[in-house]
Chain A
Amino acid sequence: MAEPILSIEGVSFRYPNQSDYAVQNVSFTAERGEWLAIVGHNGSGKSTIARMLIGLLRPERGAIRLFGRLLNDATVWEVRRRVGLVFQNPDNQFVGATVEDDIAFALENNGIPRLEMVERIREAIRQVHMEPFLHYEPHRLSGGQKQRVAIAGILALRPDMIILDEATSMLDPRGREEVLETVRRLNRQQRITVLSITHDLEEAAKADRLIVMNKGEVMAEGTPEQIFRLGSKLERIGLDLPFAVKMGSRLRERGIPLRIGYFTTEELVEELWTLYSKK
């Protein structure tokens, strides 16, 4: 088993002046190169976890370990260099006047010498396929493009891990696909660990592993296949099952002998059009 890059042990958190816990006794680990999705309905505590991971919020109880070291005041800046967080709103995380200025922002914060900055910006912009937009101002970019710039800003720091905090929820389907495709490529080619926080099970279905959160607690954990077997249990906590999964289970209810219990759209199509010849 690979080394855990991230481990959370018994973490609880409460927002000031609130009696209920936003996150309660949550534990999980992530391995290097893994794509882990945390899914849950609004208010399930998943975004709070993202904020705790880079030290924006402090857990009331429990410990967070990243790269084998405890997250505390001494290590928080190191963690923020190695872990990038992409937020939900594309506009409210774009600091620079132009694309290159924005990518440079985190590099400036970390005191990277200018010559190296230029090199790293060029490398990062290439990785998100945004080279022609280097001198564009943010208001001339689409939401998906802005999110890719945000990812480039993280890549320039050569991170070990990217956290997507509902990073695609304000995008149109095309922008969403652009962003996810970019992250998927980085995950495969550079083995950057991805922690995707989302309420979209369609998006989460592509992860290696899923953690389902409900009311601040971990409700289930497993591969997409294991999780989607929960079926209506997921719907009861406000999550919408992917179309292919719903379709698959309806077809089985009608007595159509589909092979397995969980499908992506492609698998379902494949299963259906080969069904007759298999008989």
Chain B
Amino acid sequence: MTNHLIIGQYVPGHSVIHRLDPRAKLLIVFAYVLIVFLANNAVTYALLSLFAFAFAALSRISFSFIARGLKPILWVVLFTLLLHLFMTKEGDVICQIGPLSVYEGGIKQGAFISLRFLLLVWMTTMLTLTTTPIEVTDGVESLLGPLKKMRVPVHELALMMAISLRFIPTLMEETEKIMKAQAARGVDFSGGRFSERMKAIVSLLVPLFISSFKRADELATAMEARGYRGGEGRTKFRQLAWKPVDTVFLAAVALLFALLCLLRS
């Protein structure tokens, strides 16, 4: 695992979703996240779910794998569901449990809000599952390009993102090394009281910070030695290519948007 470590949760693949232009994927997911809030009845939610499922099916990533990504938010979903179930007082009373009564509107409302939540996380998970972090960076840089005119340092931000991504495995390796070195000197990272564990963490963080600053300094020197002088006059090796299929997917989202507007009550 450590020698082929995957940053984020990217699942390598060659499906049509994997090969979409990252800009298209970012736009699709962003638009989807917005239009989810248009849905307010069974038909519109069914449409949204259908789209999400179709998107996942096309990525050829198994549903169970995606579902695992949803696990952490399951509690939040359950909580919202219960909250709506008991707090919404609309329509007929379905059943009565002690002092609490469940209304028809509560069931509907609870189910819709939970579903909305699941769909949001589902689609954003799809983005990170099918796009490498560096592609996301390229996509963000390209999409934010126009902001350069407003003096937003887009190139610098993208470079920062790319460098931090590149150094995650390096720093993880280093953390492991320091932990082993400190453990060899008798530091116990797992046991003991809370205050003792905190002290142990300090013995990890201090060397890690110092070495990170040293790395940053050396990296900056190396970048300068290799002729880096800001984004001006720089060409780019990574190039994004917008393909017809990207337009097709964007059109599909537009269609979904139109349908939602039509069918919402």
Contacts and interface: CB of A to CB of B under 8 A. Distances in A.
Interface stretch (A20-28, A106-114, A245-253): A106-114
A109 B218 contact: no
A114 B215 contact: no
B221 A107 contact: no
Q: Name the prevailing secondary structure of the B interface residues.
A: helix
Nearest to B224: A56
Given A56-B221, A95-B219, A104 B166 contact: no
A92 B215 contact: yes
Contacts of A101: 134, 237-238
Contacts of A118: 237
Contacts of B239: 114
B134 A117 contact: no
A54 B219 CA distance: 16
Interface string A98-132: 10110011111111111001100100000000000
Contacts of A96: 166
Given A93-B218, A140-B3, A114 B225 contact: no
Contacts of B196: none
Contact of B222 (A87, A97, A108, A139): A87
A213 to B, nearest CB: 21
Nearest to B220: A92
A81 interface: yes
Contacts of A109: 226-229, 234
B226 A153 contact: yes
A85 B173 CA distance: 26
Contact of B134 (A51, A87, A97): A97
B263 interface: no
A85 B236 CA distance: 22
Contacts of B233: 111
Interface residues of A, number: 40
Which of B219, B237, B238 has the most C-beta atoms of chain A within 10 angstroms of its own C-beta?
Answer: B237
Contacts of A157: 227
Given A97-B165, A139-B170, A85 B225 contact: yes
Given A109-B226, A140-B4, A117 B218 contact: no
Nearest to A57: B221
Given A56-B221, A81-B227, A110-B227, A138 B237 contact: no
A154 B233 CA distance: 19
Interface string A147-172: 00000010001000000000000000
A270 B224 CA distance: 47
A105 B222 CA distance: 11
Interface of B: 3-5, 134, 162-163, 165-166, 169-170, 173, 215, 218-219, 221-229, 233-239
Given A77-B229, A105-B228, 19 more contacts: A56-B225, A84-B226, A91-B215, A92-B222, A95-B163, A95-B219, A97-B165, A101-B237, A106-B226, A107-B235, A108-B236, A108-B237, A109-B229, A111-B234, A111-B235, A113-B235, A114-B237, A139-B3, A139-B173
21 contacts: A77-B229, A80-B224, A80-B225, A85-B222, A85-B225, A89-B215, A91-B170, A91-B215, A93-B226, A94-B166, A95-B163, A95-B226, A97-B165, A106-B227, A107-B235, A108-B236, A109-B229, A112-B235, A114-B235, A137-B169, A157-B227
Query: Which 9 residue pairs spanning A and B have beta carbons closest together?
Result: A104-B237, A93-B222, A92-B218, A139-B169, A109-B227, A106-B226, A97-B134, A80-B227, A85-B225
Interface of A: 51, 54, 56, 77, 80-81, 84-85, 87, 89, 91-98, 100-101, 104-114, 117-118, 121, 137-140, 153, 157
